[in-house]
Amino acid sequence: MVRVRFAPSPTGFLHIGGSRTALFNWLYARAQGGKFILRIEDTDVKRSKQEYLDEILDSLSWVGFNWDEIYYQSKRFEIYREVAERLLKDGKAYRASPLETDVEGAEDDAEADKKQEAVIFKVIQQKVSFKDLIHGDIVFDTGVIKDQVLIKSDGTPAYNFACVVDDAAMNINHVIRGDDHISNTPKQILIYQALNLPVPDFAHLPLILGKDGGRLSKRTGATAISDYRRMGYLPEALVNYLLLLGWSPGGNQEIIDIREAIKKFDIKDANKTAATFDMDKLNWINNQYIKTADTLELAAALEPFLKEQNLDVSGFGKDYLLSVIKLFQGRLGTLKDFPAWADFMFKDDFVIDEQAKEKHLSRDFSREFKLFAERLNALDPFDIVTIEKCFRDLLTELGLQSRELIHPVRVALTGKTIGPGLFEVLYYLGKERVSRRLLAWVKQ
């Protein structure tokens, strides 16, 4: 059975690159009917923080990468020491005194006392080769690798050692991780061999680059998954985008449901070229998902954004809210856009775009607005069709082009130049609010 793992370190938030690695591991496990194991690499006690751990677990749950088992390296220090002891006994490792600078640099004597001899692995010069599921055969000459620290002088295990001990103990048979670990692989294989443990298959995923071609960093855009959640991206959209970064379902398909992806995914089809993170395409995909989302579910997803931007919709019925969401659904790039774009549907002190006002309301529309308000108030079936007819009749009477009145009315009612069709806006706003807003522009 396939057993894969994702091994984040709680020394920072879950970022884009990490979640893509998690996605490919998770997908592969689900595609193969295997297990997806989460291993928290919190051996660096000083840098590991609870808030980071919480954020990582939270983000993984949000994107839906459910794990079958979870382990914490900080609870397994005894195991690493025992294994190191074995290597020592076999003469494959040796002890070395703690680094002078380390002891001297210790905060106080108590800390210095805790320092003990480190355990170092003897690297023997040889050719190590492995078959990478994505890259094919890779060969290293270990002559260029220094002896490796197994247990540091503070008693905690070094990364490459804890990783091997755990992958073996947890029966991980496919190690799927970032390209940056390729050069760690020969070091780890040496340890597997010294321990007489079966070497797993490796698959090294290309890195995700920022716009500047370098590593994705805060400078080149948001990196934490939780940031994207806050910016108003749907988890399905983010996952779909991440999936397209290094893998393609073929057949010119861009939008792919996760269940369909599970059926089609194979780690062997992953690309080997680094990909640049492109916000524009993410936005487009997010819009594709928002557009086709169930309106009721969208309403729930929108809640935190309404709250955050202080847009109170409680005074309106559920049906009204859903209608308004439907009106905007097709043009939303992110959920965050909604409160900003639809504010006029829920309050009278909506934001007025000064440029729009300047462009369309600089001349006096008292006569037109007053007439239109009166006509609308008298409309009996007040529906989209009759509203449009009423408006167009008025245009004919006044001898105006539709655009000459539509834009001013839109700005007066919504404060914006962009938005849903005007007649729909009129219908959902209702007679009372429409005439109040129009008459506000009428000079007495």
Partner RNA sequence: GGCCCCAUCGUCUAGCCUGGUCUAGGACGAAUGGUUCUCAGCCAUUAAACACCGGUUCAAAUCCGGUUGGGGCUACCA
Choose which of 3, 30, 41, 265 interacts with RNA (CB under 7 A).
Answer: 41
d(CA 197, CA 189): 9
Q: Which residues pair with 140 in a beta bridge?
A: 128
Give the pair of three-digit tokens for residue 93: 């490792």
Of 10-29, binders to RNA (CB under 7 A) are: 11
Among 2, 106, 222, 275, binds RNA (CB under 7 A): 275
Q: Judged by CB under 7 A, which stretch of 60-68, 106-114, 316-324, 420-428 contacts RNA? A: 420-428
CB of residue 96 vs RNA: minimum separation in angstroms? 5
| Contact residue for RNA among 283, 295, 323, 366 (CB under 7 A) | 283
- Among candidates 180, 220, 230, which has minimal Cα distance to 21? 180
Q: In the annotation, is 218 catalytic?
A: yes
d(CA 313, CA 430): 16
Shortest approach of RNA to residue 301 CB, angstroms? Answer: 18
H helices of 232-335, in order, are 235-244, 258-264, 279-292, 295-308, 318-329
Taking the least distance from each CB to RNA, the nearer of 90 and 180 is 180
Write the burial class of residue 11 (CB in 10 Å: 0-12 exposed, 13-18 middle, 19+ buried).
middle
Q: Kindly state the smallest distance separating residue 149's Cβ from RNA, in Å.
A: 4
- Please name the residue that has the structure tokens 């002190």: 349
Return the axis-axis angle of helices 384-398 and 422-439, rounded to nearest 10°. 60
Which residue is catalytic, options 49, 114, 218, 281?
218
Binding residues among 305-324 for RNA as defined by CB under 7 A: none
Q: Could you give the string, one character per residue 210-229, with x where binding to RNA holds by CB under 7 A and - elsewhere?
A: ---xxx--------------
Main-chain phi, psi angles of 202, to 5 degrees: -120, 150
Q: How far is the CB of 312 from RNA (least distance, A)?
A: 22
Our CB check for RNA shows the closer of 201 and 269 to be 269
User: How many residues line the site for RNA (CB under 7 A)?
Assistant: 82
Q: Are 286 and 334 in contact (CB under 8 A)?
A: yes
Which residues within the stretch 250-269 sit at the binding site for RNA (CB under 7 A)? Answer: 250, 252, 254, 269
Element (H, E) at 37: strand 35-40
Considering only residues 97 through 136, tell me which ones interact with RNA, judged by CB under 7 A.
97-99, 102, 118, 135-136
Segment 134 to 193, residues that bind RNA, using CB under 7 A: 135-136, 138-141, 144, 146, 149, 152-154, 156, 158-160, 179-184
Nearest CB to RNA, comparing residues 33 and 202:
202
What stretches of 51-196 adopt beta strand conformation (E)? Answer: 69-72, 93-96, 118-121, 127-132, 136-141, 148-151, 174-178
Closest to RNA by CB, 226 or 248: 248
Binding RNA (rule: CB under 7 A), the pick from 123, 422, 429, 438 is 422
Q: Which residues lie across from 119 on neighbouring strands?
A: 95, 151
Closer CB to RNA, residue 46 or residue 363? 46
- Identify which range of 37-45, 58-66, 168-176, 431-439 contacts RNA by CB under 7 A: 37-45
Least CB distance from residue 352 to RNA, whole Å?
A: 13
Q: Provide CB contacts within 8 A for 441, sequence distance 6+.
A: 361, 365, 366, 369, 412
Handedness of CA 250, 253, 254, 260 (dihedral sign): negative
Residue 276 binds RNA, judged by CB under 7 A: yes
Sheet holding 35-40, edge to edge: 3-6, 35-40, 69-72
Regarding 234 and contact with RNA (CB under 7 A), the answer is no
Contact set for RNA, span 48-77 (CB under 7 A): 73
Residues taking part in catalysis: 218
